[in-house]
Amino acid sequence: MKLKYFFLFINLFITTRVFATHIIGGEITYKYLGNNNYKITLKVYRDCNTGQAPFDDPAVLGVFNSQGSLLSTINLGNPIITYIQPTLNNPCITTPPDICVEQAIYSSNQSLPPISGGYQIVYQRCCRNGSIINILDPGNVGSTYIAKIPDVSVFGYNSSPYFNNYPPIAICEGMPLVFDHSATDPDGDVLVYSFCTPYEGATAGNPMPQPPNGPPYGTVAWVSPYNVNNQISSTPQMAINASTGLLTANPDAVGQFVVGVCVKEYRNGVLLGEDRRDFQFNVTLCNPVVEAKFKTSIGNQDTVLACGQLTIAFNNISIGAQNFIWDFGDLTTTLDHSTLQQPSYTYPGVGNYTVTLIVNQGLPCGDTAIKVVSIHNPIQTFFSVDTVCALSPTNFNDESVTLEGFMSSWKWNFDDGNNSLLQSPSYNYQQGGIYNVTLISANNFGCKDTITKPVLVYSLPIPNAGPDTMICDIDSLHLFAENGINYSWSPNYNLSNVNISNPMAQPDVNTTYIVTVTDAHNCVNIDSAIILVVDTVISVAGPDTTICLNQPLQLFSSNAVYYQWEPASLTSNPDVIAPFVYPQTNTTFTVTSFIGSCFDIDSVTVNVNPIPVPNAGLGGTINQGEKIQLQGSGGGTYLWTPPQDLSDPTTDWPIAFPLNTTTYTMTLTNEFGCIASDTLVVIVTHIHELYVPNAFTPNGDGTNDFFLYFTRGIRKINELKIYNRWGQIVYSNNGYDETPWNGTSPKGLTSPMGVYVYYIVAETYDGDLITKIGNITLLR
């Protein structure tokens, strides 16, 4: 427990500056000078730390009558600007960092003759700090300051009250605030203080209206949970004494808050007017110069608990301390003191001891820290458990002991993901095993102890009564169970002995036999076997069927217990209900179905059709863009895959023109619907060639009359141009799609003999481009 009291009557320390610079407060007062003359004083406060707008010069005040009509304006120039030094009355708080607050005082003597209803003197300015957290949209909300001069004919001449102190620039979170917010009235009128909501006024778009807007004036909007009576976060709530103006608070959250305080002026019990002050509180973390702090070897709470431990070590973590005085709170001796920095102390026994650390005794800045050491006897946690079986209640018995007080809490961990808070719980484990069970118990003083013990839970015996079965009504069979020392069968119906593991049973109706097995640990489990009793067996092998050669076929019989298929060599397993068979010729299969001594025989004939013998041929090698004739044979219906790049995938000899190496599968279907396949590979090379001769003779003799070129692996000619010796195009087309050049010009004239230049761009089947440039000689 820490005892600290800081009474702040001035500006306090800010550890880190985070607040924007804007108007932070202001007020208007007036003083009657005689002969209808008044001294009007305007005080405005601003944050000057980061170069915001300067004070207005002049500041324009509006003079309004009681109905809100503008009568005149007052220009207040040449303000007296003063830097407010953030001084500290408490030497035990470090000097504030860079804080800049300026005060501007404007004043002027004005003649204001008496009028009905009196005057309203108004000044408006925007804007507030955008970082304010207790009002809406603070960065776009300004302030309105008003001084109301009452009607002289009703109240006589009056001077307004004025506040004696400006509030602290910053206040400390977690430290009590006591601030004298009183005012003085020159006329001796009675003053009453209260919180009120500040006026808003001006906007970011019109921050200094000249003249000010007329009354009435709205107020700022509070952000929940803040309101006029809860303007800052404080525990207890911030308060002001209505008679003295003493403002008290204990801020409990860092932030920037708008605060409004009103003082009402009464004369002879009649209200003359109200002065409304608007300012800001910046709540921040404060660092004291000296702070007494310590921990103990058993904890750091305000009250630390020692169970069975008499010697306590104290860890001194004080700040700025030069000397130490410890009082260990042992009232049985006068020797329970120490001046060591890191002492320890052995207490005489059980009790509560108040430990006090005083640092810097006799120096200007000292501090005190207090903790309570509560020493109690230790407790002993223990439990017992009965040996149990899985799925049966396991009873845990708490046997914990305390020498003082009483046991008050228990926490069991059963080591399978489940817990209990009961003192002596009962728990069912789902399966056997060794479980490390933990119990944490505590008494009413908070002393705890823990114990972990292995708990053996026996698994249930597994009877293994076997599968359900069928018997013939003339037969008997041995029932079977295991893993026990005692057995009990029920019902006792046609059993040779109900208390052995393998009695002989001969039921003549369907019967479910249940066996109860008890093992050496007295763990019990049950199992059952259903015996179905029949007097006849009907074997049904199914209808005859037809398959293709080498086609697997699964046969089926009706339900029985045992089976025998013939011929056994053609079955996958002759002793199962549904074997696979692999006949190569027409074959009749017989099955004998047994239930004990009862049996029946049935047969099924499987006809086997031949499969075709396909021959896809040898395949071959071609280049891209070339074709190959496939040569399949075998008869029946043909289907080639993949069908792409085939002239007809359903013929025996299709033409193939693949662009890449392809494996073709030829599937034949014969007249029985039997299918067989064969494959071949067509290898495709990617050779891309473009050959152009060096001369041609367009003389009309039918030989070499055209400019021709030869390709391999070329998909198309994208561009072909022929130029004469002067660079003129004499022929142009896109290759195969046009008539080849016959030696004439674009105008149909015969081109002279000579050397011409060709330019060809070809595209391969792979999408690559080949460019070829060369000479061709025209001869006649």
Percent of the chain with pLDDT over 70: 95
- Residue 50 pLDDT > 70, yes or no? no
| CA–CA separation, 611 and 627 (whole Å) | 31
Percent of the chain with pLDDT over 90: 82
Q: What is the mean pLDDT of the segment spanning 288-295?
A: 90
Contacts of 217 (CB under 8 A, 6+ apart): 144, 146, 199, 200, 201
- Residue 7 pLDDT > 90, yes or no? no
User: What is the per-residue pLDDT across 127-178, written as a single tens digit (0 to 9) for each?
Assistant: 988 889 999 999 899 999 999 999 999 999 999 999 999 888 888 888 888 9
Q: Are the C-beta atoms of 371 and 294 separated by less than 8 Å? A: yes
Q: What is the mean pLDDT of the segment spanning 522-535?
A: 95
Give the per-residue SS3 of 450-490.
Answer: EEEEEEEEECCCCCCCCCCEEEECCCCEECCCCCCCEEEEE
Concatenated DSSP letters for 378-390?
-EE--EEE--EET
Q: Which residue has the tokens 């070339």?
A: 626
680 to 630, 647, 653: CA distances (angstroms): 9, 17, 13
24's enclosing H/E stretch is: strand 23-34
Concatenated DSSP letters for 300-362?
-SSEEEEES--EEEEEE--BS-S-EEEE---TT-S--EE--SS-EEE--SSEEEEEEEEESTT
Q: Are the C-beta atoms of 500 and 487 separated by less than 8 Å? A: yes
292's enclosing H/E stretch is: none
- Residue 98 pLDDT > 80, yes or no? no
Q: Are the C-beta atoms of 144 and 64 separated by less than 8 Å? A: no
Residue 121: strand pairing partners = 63, 147
- Tell me the backbone φ, ψ of residue 438, rounded to 5 degrees: -115, 135
CATH topology of domain 379-458: Immunoglobulin-like (2.60.40)
Low-confidence winner among 333-337, 360-364, 606-610, 734-738 (lowest mean pLDDT)? 734-738
Q: Are the C-beta atoms of 634 and 614 separated by less than 8 Å? A: yes
Q: What is the mean pLDDT of the segment spanning 267-284?
A: 91
Q: What confidence category does residue 8 fall into, taking pLDDT thresholds of 50, 70 and 90? A: very low
Kindly report the average pLDDT of the chain as a whole number: 92
Tell me if residue 444 falls in helix, strand or coil.
coil
Q: Are the C-beta atoms of 599 and 592 separated by less than 8 Å? A: yes
155's enclosing H/E stretch is: helix 152-155
| CA–CA separation, 384 and 406 (whole Å) | 19
Low-confidence winner among 352-356, 387-391, 431-435, 539-543 (lowest mean pLDDT)? 387-391
User: What is the per-residue pLDDT across 644-668, written as a single tens digit (0 to 9) for each?
Assistant: 999 999 999 999 999 999 999 999 9
Q: What is the mean pLDDT of the segment spanning 386-407?
A: 93
Domain with CATH 2.60.40.10 in the chain: 294-376, 379-458, 545-609
CATH topology of domain 689-778: Immunoglobulin-like (2.60.40)
Give residue 780's identity as a one-letter amino acid code: R
Q: Which CATH class is domain 469-534?
A: mainly beta
Q: What confidence category does residue 296 fall into, taking pLDDT thresholds of 50, 70 and 90? A: very high
675's enclosing H/E stretch is: strand 675-685
| CA–CA separation, 133 and 155 (whole Å) | 41
pLDDT for the residue numbered 157: 96
| CA–CA separation, 221 and 140 (whole Å) | 12
User: What is the per-residue pLDDT across 312-331, written as a single tens digit (0 to 9) for each?
Assistant: 999 999 999 999 999 999 99
| Residue 5 CB coordination number (10 Å) | 8
- Residue 748 pLDDT > 90, yes or no? no
Q: Which residue has the tokens 């004070």?
A: 55
pLDDT for the residue numbered 21: 44
308 conformational bin, left if phi > 0, alpha if psi -120 to 50, beta if neither: left
Superfamily holding 294-376:
Immunoglobulins (2.60.40.10)
Superfamily holding 545-609:
Immunoglobulins (2.60.40.10)
| Residue 229 CB coordination number (10 Å) | 10
- Tell me the backbone φ, ψ of residue 422, rounded to 5 degrees: -75, 160
Q: What is the mean pLDDT of the segment spanning 750-755?
A: 94
Closest to 377 measured CA to CA, from 312, 449, 429, 453: 449
- Residue 444 pLDDT > 80, yes or no? yes
pLDDT for the residue numbered 174: 82
User: What is the per-residue pLDDT across 548-581, written as a single tens digit (0 to 9) for each?
Assistant: 999 999 999 988 889 999 999 999 999 999 999 9
